[in-house]
Amino acid sequence: MIRKLLAAASVASLCLVSTAMAQETINMWVRTGIGTAFTSLADAYNASHENQIALTEVPFAELVQKYATAIAGGQAPDALSLDLIYTPAFAAAGQLQDLTDWAKGLDYFDSLSPSHVTLGTYEDKVYGLPLLVETSVLAWNKGLYEQAGLDPEKAPANWAEVEANAEAIRALGGDNYGFYFSGGSCGGCMIFTFTPLVWASGADILSEDGQTATLDTPQMRAAVDIYRSMVEKDLVPESSATDNGVNFLSFTNGKIGHQSLGAFAIGTLVNDYPDIDFGVTMIPGVDGGTSSFAGGDNIVVTKDTPRLAAVQEFIEFAYSPEGQKILAENGSLPTRSDIAAQTLEGLDPRLQVAVDAIAVAKTPYTLLFNDLINSANGPWATFTNAAIYGDDVDGAFANAQAEMQSIIDNAP
């Protein structure tokens, strides 16, 4: 009897031990305000899986240096939802897990968002895979259009229309403004919302190999003129001039006529601001065409994490039809093109505009994205501030062009 009891007890304790060993908690960092799409996905994963995922929100502006510091201090999380533009730099530094074999073994690898996979690849190895896909699109407030006597269902097709409609909305008076952009010191916001004006017209701020700064073009000068004109006509709230990205979602206050936003903002508006009736259209170029920034996050895994299998299980859940549906229901775009139609079925039709934008969207590939573009003190952020709000436009172009090239030339 005693022997039987002992045997039962040891079996029970073995079961407990094996359960404890099987169950793992993935530590993952995400940027603050990542939106409901990803947190809903994580909640669904935690509810249906033995392994769990614990999210830590890190302020967007500090994410890169905090992660770098954590790696240096041996405190890095297992995985990170990393702005896709940083993936090449982190992969080049040798801190990320090579996911090539496993990733290419996924049946649907070829249908994953191509821009994300490109940015997630460094020297032919895959270090990052798409997690959240978004594109920049132009949103307009239908309620304000109606109040201003404009046709709320007619999307503005070019910048002349945007400006004219913005003037009509500003004429409503009070706190109503025609246009908004986080321009003061948010390089990341401006690459997302402003460069499509230039890309659509065939110009770019960097050469294709990323080795030459090509900022000073007629297209960029025309784009600057469009924004300057709206600022000078007081169509843009003055706080835009000092906005470091904190007010990026100003459109949600219901008093902004137009703003270029991302798919995540569509989700936020639909879920959290149901009173705002808005339309979404492609961002026009300065002289025709449309373009967009392919943004969002890649999931990257810290090199040699002990919980690699658990992270892979989570990624596969994110790519499953169930995971894709949860993301899409909360405003994020489908990561897999092979099940995109199925994923978007029955969802807000405005998401389709953002999905269509994937076809024309661009993402610069450079290891110096932080130095050149995202840093509040980098040449790009300085340029947009000086060119749009300053008095010396020519000087702004000359300084930024020279400093960009100098950073590229002096890169270690």
Partner 1 sequence: MSITAATPLAVAKPRRRARSSRQWQGLLYIAPAIVLVKIFFVIPVLFTVWMSFHNWPLLGEPSWIGLGNYTRMFSDTRFSAALSFTAYYTLIATIAIFALAFPLALFVQNERRGVSAYRTIFFMPVVVGLATASLLWVWLANVDSGLFSPILRMFGVTGRSANLLATFNNAFATIIVMVVWKIVGFTMIILLTGLQSIPGDLTEAARIDGASRWQRFRFLTLPLMRRTLALALILSVTGSVLAFDQFYIMTSGGPQNRMISVVYYIFNQSFVSFQLGYGSALSIVLLGILVALSIVQLWLLRVGDDK
Question: What gap in Å lies between CA 205 and CA 218, rounded to an integer?
Answer: 12
101/123 with CB nearer partner 1 = 123
324/401 with CB nearer partner 1 = 401
Q: How far is the CB of 382 from partner 1 (least distance, A)?
A: 5
Q: How far is the CB of 234 from partner 1 (least distance, A)?
A: 9
264/383 with CB nearer partner 1 = 383
What single letter denotes the amino acid at residue 315? I
Q: How far is the CB of 49 from partner 1 (least distance, A)?
A: 31
- CA 271 to each of CA 37, 311, 328, 329, 371: distance values in angstroms, whole numbers, following the listed order: 10, 28, 12, 9, 35
Question: What gap in Å lies between CA 262 and CA 255, rounded to an integer?
Answer: 18
321/390 with CB nearer partner 1 = 390
Question: What gap in Å lies between CA 74 and CA 352, rounded to an integer?
Answer: 42
Query: Is residue 273 within 8 Å of 338, Cβ to Cβ?
Result: no
**DSSP characters for 241-268?**
GG--STTTTGGGGS-EEEEEEEHHHHHH
Q: Is 410 exposed, middle or buried (0-12, 13-18, 19+ CB in 10 A)?
A: exposed
Q: How far is the CB of 395 from partner 1 (least distance, A)?
A: 10
62/316 with CB nearer partner 1 = 62
Residues that bind partner 1 in the complex, under the rule CB under 8 A: 65, 68-69, 71-72, 90, 93-95, 184-185, 237-239, 241-242, 244, 370-371, 375-377, 382, 385-386, 389-390, 396, 412
Q: How far is the CB of 318 from partner 1 (least distance, A)?
A: 26
40/182 with CB nearer partner 1 = 182
Radius of gyration of the chain (CA): 23
- CA 153 to each of CA 156, 280, 324: distance values in angstroms, whole numbers, following the listed order: 10, 10, 29
Q: How far is the CB of 386 from partner 1 (least distance, A)?
A: 5
Could you tell me whether strands 128-141 and 177-180 are parallel, antiparallel, or unpaired per DSSP bridges? unpaired
Query: Is residue 137 within 8 Å of 292, Cβ to Cβ?
Result: yes
Q: How far is the CB of 238 from partner 1 (least distance, A)?
A: 4
The DSSP symbol for 106 reads S
Question: What gap in Å lies between CA 38 and CA 332, rounded to an integer?
Answer: 8
111/242 with CB nearer partner 1 = 242
106/241 with CB nearer partner 1 = 241
Query: Is residue 307 within 8 Å of 87, Cβ to Cβ?
Result: no
Q: How far is the CB of 378 from partner 1 (least distance, A)?
A: 8
Q: How many CB atoms lie within 10 A of CB 14?
A: 10
